[in-house]
C-alpha cells in the first residue's frame, strides 16, 4: 500500500511520496491535474494508495473533492493530532516538506477519517457556518442595543437608533438561510428531528459535519470524531488527574449538541434519569451534561444508521 502525505496551504501544497521525495504543486485545477498525472506516470493506482491531508478549513476542499471524484482514497487528519506529531521530538523546526512527511506517517498508521463530503453536504456546511456567524454577530449587536437603551434612559435624551434596522436585516438573513437548509438531505434531517432535543438547526449541522454515518463502525467512534471522548493522563499503573473530553473534533458539533442535550434532558425521561444519576454520583453539572451529550450521540447514531425514527420506550 502506498501512502502520500499532503501539507496544504492557500496557494499550493507539498506532497510527500516517501521519506525523501517531496514535491510542490499549485492548489489550482491545473495543479491538481499535474498531481494526478504524476501519480499515473509513477505507478500509483487508486486501489493501493491512501492520501492524507490535514483539515485546513477550506483550503484542502478543492483537492479532496477533485481526488475523491476520481475515486482516490482521501483521509482527513485532525489538525490537533498532526500538530502533536509534527512538533514532537527535540527538534521542532517546522517546514512544509517536514509537515508533509509527518502527515504521510500519520496516514500510514491509520490516522484520519475518510473524506466523504458530497456537493450537497458541502453546500449545507457553508449554510450552517454562515448562519452561525450571523447569529453570533446578531448576539453582539443585541448587546450593543441593550447598552444603547440603558444610556438613553440614564440621559433622559432620545438617541439616534442606527442598529435596530441592522438587527432586522440579520433576522431576515438568518431565516432565509434556515429555509435553504431544508433543501439538502431533507429525509435525513427529518429522521434526526424525531429525536427529542434535535431541532432543525441541530439536524442540519449533524448532516453537514458528519456526512456519511456509515463511515463510523460504532457510536464511540462518532463520539471521538465529535471530540466527546474522554482523555485520561496515565503513567504506568497510575492515572494522573481527572478525565476530560478530548475536544479533538468539530467545535460546531460539540456546541450545538450541548444545547440539544440540555433540551433532550428536559423532554426525554431516560436522559433526565441518566443526568440525575450522574449528579447523584457527585459529578459536576457540566460533566453530567457531557455524559448526557454522549448518550444523545448514541441515539443519533442508532436512529441514523437504522434509518427509522426515534420511538419512546
230-247, pLDDT tens digit by residue? 544 344 444 444 444 545
Measured CA to CA, the distance from residue 102 to residue 6 in angstroms comes to 9
Cell 496551504 identifies what position? 9
- Asked if residue 183 has pLDDT above 60, the reply is yes
Of 219, 242, 228, the residue nearest 293 (C-alpha): 228
DSSP string covering 237-304: TEEEEEEEE---S-HHHHHHHHHHHHHHHHH-HHHHHHHHHHHHTT--HHHHHHHHHHHHHHHHHHHH
- Asked if residue 92 has pLDDT above 60, the reply is no
Of 99, 108, 9, 109, the residue nearest 49 (C-alpha): 108
Tell me the sheet residues that pair with 231.
Answer: 244
> What average pLDDT does the segment 111-118 reach?
88
Least confident of 197-201, 203-207, 209-213, 233-237: 233-237
In the prediction, which pLDDT does 38 show? 95
Domain spans of the chain, in order of start: 2-114, 119-184, 206-306
In the prediction, which pLDDT does 79 show? 72
Write the CA distances from 160 to 141, 157, 169, 302, integer angstroms: 15, 10, 18, 54
Q: At 116, is the pLDDT very low, low, confident or very high (cuts 50, 70, 90)?
A: confident
Per-residue pLDDT tens over the stretch 46-67: 999 999 998 887 899 999 999 9
What would the CATH number be for the domain defined by 2-114?
3.30.420.40
Per-residue pLDDT tens over the stretch 154-177: 988 888 888 889 999 999 999 999
- Asked if residue 220 has pLDDT above 70, the reply is yes
> What average pLDDT does the segment 249-262 reach?
84
| Mean pLDDT of all residues belonging to the chain | 86
Q: What is the pTM of this model?
A: 0.77
Amino acid at each position: 500500500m502506498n501512502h502520500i502525505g499532503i501539507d496544504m496551504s492557500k496557494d499550493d501544497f507539498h506532497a510527500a511520496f516517501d521519506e525523501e521525495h517531496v514535491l510542490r504543486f499549485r492548489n489550482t485545477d491545473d495543479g491538481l491535474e499535474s498531481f494526478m498525472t504524476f501519480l499515473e506516470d509513477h505507478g500509483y493506482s487508486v486501489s493501493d494508495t491512501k492520501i492524507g491531508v490535514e483539515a485546513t478549513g477550506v483550503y484542502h476542499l478543492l483537492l479532496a473533492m477533485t481526488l475523491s471524484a476520481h475515486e482516490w482514497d482521501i483521509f482527513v487528519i485532525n489538525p490537533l493530532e498532526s500538530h502533536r506529531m509534527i512538533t514532537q521530538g527535540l527538534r521542532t523546526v517546522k517546514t512544509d516538506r517536514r509537515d508533509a512527511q509527518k502527515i504521510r506517517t500519520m496516514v500510514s498508521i491509520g490516522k484520519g477519517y475518510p473524506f466523504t463530503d458530497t456537493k450537497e453536504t458541502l453546500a449545507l456546511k457553508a449554510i450552517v457556518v454562515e448562519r452561525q456567524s450571523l447569529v453570533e454577530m446578531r448576539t453582539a449587536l443585541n448587546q450593543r442595543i441593550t447598552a444603547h437603551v440603558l444610556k438613553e434612559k440614564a440621559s433622559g435624551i432620545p438617541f439616534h437608533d442606527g442598529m435596530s434596522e441592522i438587527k432586522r436585516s440579520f433576522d431576515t438573513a438568518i431565516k432565509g438561510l434556515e429555509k435553504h437548509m431544508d433543501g439538502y438531505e431533507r429525509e435525513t434531517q427529518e429522521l434526526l428531528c424525531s429525536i427529542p432535543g434535535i431541532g432543525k438547526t441541530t439536524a442540519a449541522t449533524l448532516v453537514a459535519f458528519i456526512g456519511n454515518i456509515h463511515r463510523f463502525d460504532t457510536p464511540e467512534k462518532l463520539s471521538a470524531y465529535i471530540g466527546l471522548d474522554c482523555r485520561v493522563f496515565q503513567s504506568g499503573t497510575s492515572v494522573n488527574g481527572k478525565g476530560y473530553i478530548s475536544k479533538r473534533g468539530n467545535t460546531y458539533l460539540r456546541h450545538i449538541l450541548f444545547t440539544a442535550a440540555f433540551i433532550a434532558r428536559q423532554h426525554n425521561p431516560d436522559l433526565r434519569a441518566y443526568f440525575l444519576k450522574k449528579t447523584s454520583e457527585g459529578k459536576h453539572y457540566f460533566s453530567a451534561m457531557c455524559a448526557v451529550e454522549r448518550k444523545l450521540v448514541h441515539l443519533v447514531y442508532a436512529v441514523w444508521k437504522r434509518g427509522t425514527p426515534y420511538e419512546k420506550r
